[in-house]
Chains A and B, each alone.
Chain A
Amino acid sequence: MRTRFLLAMFTLALAAPAAYADIILPDVNPKYVTIKEQNPERDAGYVVGDILDRTITLTIKKPYELVKESLPIEGFEHRYRGQISGIELVKINTEEHSHSDSVTHVLHLRYQVFTTGKLAKPAALRAEIIKLRNASNKTVLQYRIPSYSFRISPLSVFGSVKLKEEMSPFVRPLRLDASRDRLQLGIAIAILSLALLCLLYIFGMYAWLPKMGAPFAKAYRDIRKIPNTEQGLQNAVARLHSALNQTAGSVLFTSNLDEFLQKKPAFALLKQDIEKFFTLSGQVFFASSPTAHLAENPKAWLQKFCRHLRDCERGLVPHLAAKASH
């Protein structure tokens, strides 16, 4: 007798989880569960074989916890009034994030349509029922994830169809393939950007940075490349004359030097050096001036002088004691 009783109790214990699943439990208080749905983008136009992805984010506050065994099972085919609905859960992935007073479960559900018809018909991703257990008193309650309704379309249309009458406000317009236009637009934008960049470069006097293309900055770069020969010295002096003329807006001579310095006081600091430069120029081109008293090689002096002019051009105070840098 006693053995029979124990056997009956064991059988009941084994049968309990199955019975657990079918039993309709009371709903959990909504304040313990927060749900966030991410449903498929469109709700119509699905045909047999189409995949629908749905992501449910559940945040369950303590003391409740998710009974993981209650999650839907892959391959489960929902029935409605004994009829197979034709929507099958093909994949489920879960993520879990614990917090101090809650746990967030992210359910990635993938359904596939296995039904069709001659006419469009409604369908739904079923409302999943999950179970929550109260950790303190071990009571189990249920939570219903809302269903998602959509429409399944036939693979082909039978008979004549008046599109005007058949158009559904739920179906988004079909889009033309715009990839080619996107590519063309991309190329056009790239060319335009390049052209604007070139324009910027041109308007910036062929320089990327302010004052980089200014006369003395350019002259300094040129003079650095000129060889230290007799011809090179002539070229360097001529190059510097050109930069001075460009800055002055007219040809600069010693006779109009004061006028130039009044107009461009930034260069006043270099008046003596400019006069020395004209003396050097007279020596180089006219062979008449008394020897310019240069303490260093004329080419090196020219380079240093040009750098000082460039500093003035940039609004800096040249360091007159500085040596020419290469």
Chain B
Amino acid sequence: MSLRRFILKRLLSIIPILFGVSVITFSLVHLTPGDPIAQMVAMNPNVTAAEEAQLRARYGLDGPIWEQYLTWMGNVLTGDFGEVIGSGRDVSEVVMTRLPETIALGLFGWAFGLVIAIPTGIYAAINKDEFADTASRFLALSGISIPNFWLGLMLILIGALWIGLWPVLPPSRHALYHPEMLWYLVLPGITIGTAAAASIMRVMRTSMAEEMNKEYVTAARAKGLPERTVVLKHVLRNSLISVVTLAATLTASIVAGSVVVEVVFNWPGLGREFITAIDEREINLIMAITLFTGVFIIIANLLADILYAVLDPRIRYD
């Protein structure tokens, strides 16, 4: 199968998954007891049953569930996610203002992971079973095992309260692209990137060590290439392929991590908004963020698969 056909087939295969994701999102949220209308009514005993029905009709919460699903899906396909019932704001507007904050956090986390993990992974693989390797393995294991919310709290405790390098919370929030914000991004960014760094480190070490035993490495050494060239030019390239296979999983973990980390650092991103939405039963917002997450991860998986196929022509597409 050619690469183009592989990509096409892979693209087609996500259609039923997208459908499934929308069904799961919708049905989970609609199983939740107590929609915002019920809460409004409970707070205000003067509302009559007729008025309640009217409210429900206005927000499309009446009618059988499949009809609600079709209406919602139709609206979503035209880019209309409804409005936040509590504040009357447009859901897509809320998502769009929160999204850049989360993306900045995620990118910082990814960058931190790569910058830390790749050199360490290379170093550990070259010095396999020496002290540096053992130490880095231990660090990687700790990085995977540490709960991200606790890491965040510890960084606040150490970085903000004991050393005092950062204010506990940014004093006045500038726009996200303000250069000063980069400084406030450090602690949450490290928190979210640590697990990624640890995973990449482990994978890099294993795959580098594996590649080092292959014949092409012996051949490269035999023809007199300096060890530096052998490692950085030949071995590293092949080992990075295994990092690509990890990319989609890591992106998913960063997305999930952002929910917790944003709460720890009071970061005004999509994750914190999600928790608020759950607390306040804002079903339109919950559905929009859940659907967005699902679609984002499906696309990340798709891209990782395609990238993998492009990078490693040896794999068979079937």
Are A and B part of the same complex?
no
Chain B interface residues (CB < 8 Å from chain A): none
